[in-house]
Structure 1
Amino acid sequence: MFNNSMQGGLVIRPSNDRDKPFLMNLYNSTRDDLKHVDASHDFIEELIEMQFKAQFEGYGEQFPNAFYFVIERQQEKIGRIAVDFGHNEVRIIDISFIKAAQNKGYGSVVINALKSAAEQNKVPLTLTVLHSNVSAINLYQKLGFKIVENKLPHALMMWLPESKTARFSVNSSHFELSN
Structure 2
Amino acid sequence: MTIGRVWRDAMQGERMSHSKAMATTNNAAVCPPDAIQVLQLFMHNSLVLFFMTVRIRPVEHIDYDWLLDLHHTVYRELIIKEFGYWDDDEELGLFLEAWETKKIDIITKHGNSVGMFIIEKRNDYLWLDEIQIDPQYQNQGIGTEVIAQLILRARKLELPLRLRVLHANQGAYRLYQKLGFRQISCAAHHNVMELS
Counterpart contact for 1:78–1:101, Cα < 8 Å: yes
Equivalent residue, structure 2, for 1:27 = 71
**Residue 55 of structure 1 aligns to which amino acid in structure 2?**
L
Structure 2, unmatched stretches of 5+, are 1-49, 81-85
**TM-score, scaled to structure 2:** 0.65
Equivalent residue, structure 2, for 1:176 = none
* 1:13 Cα offset (Å): 1.0
Is 1:88 the equivalent of 2:124? yes
Counterpart contact for 1:127–1:158, Cα < 8 Å: yes
Task: Measure the CA separation in 2 of the matches of 1:105 and 1:81.
Answer: 15
Show the 5 A alignment for 1:138-157: 138-157=174-193
- Structure holding more strand per residue: 1
Task: Measure the CA separation in 2 of the matches of 1:33 and 1:107.
Answer: 17
Counterpart contact for 2:71–2:95, Cα < 8 Å: no
Equivalent residue, structure 2, for 1:112 = 148
**TM-score, scaled to structure 1:** 0.71
Structure 1, unmatched stretches of 5+, are 1-5, 36-43, 161-179
**Aligned Cα root-mean-square deviation (Å):** 2.5
* 1:103 Cα offset (Å): 0.9
**Residue 77 of structure 2 aligns to which amino acid in structure 1?**
D
Q: Percent identity?
A: 26
**Residue 20 of structure 1 aligns to which amino acid in structure 2?**
Y
- Structure holding more helix per residue: 2
Counterpart contact for 1:129–1:156, Cα < 8 Å: yes
Runs (4 or more) in structure 1 with deviation over 4 Å come to 57-61
Which is bigger in relative contact order (C-alpha 8 A, separation at least 6)?
A: 2
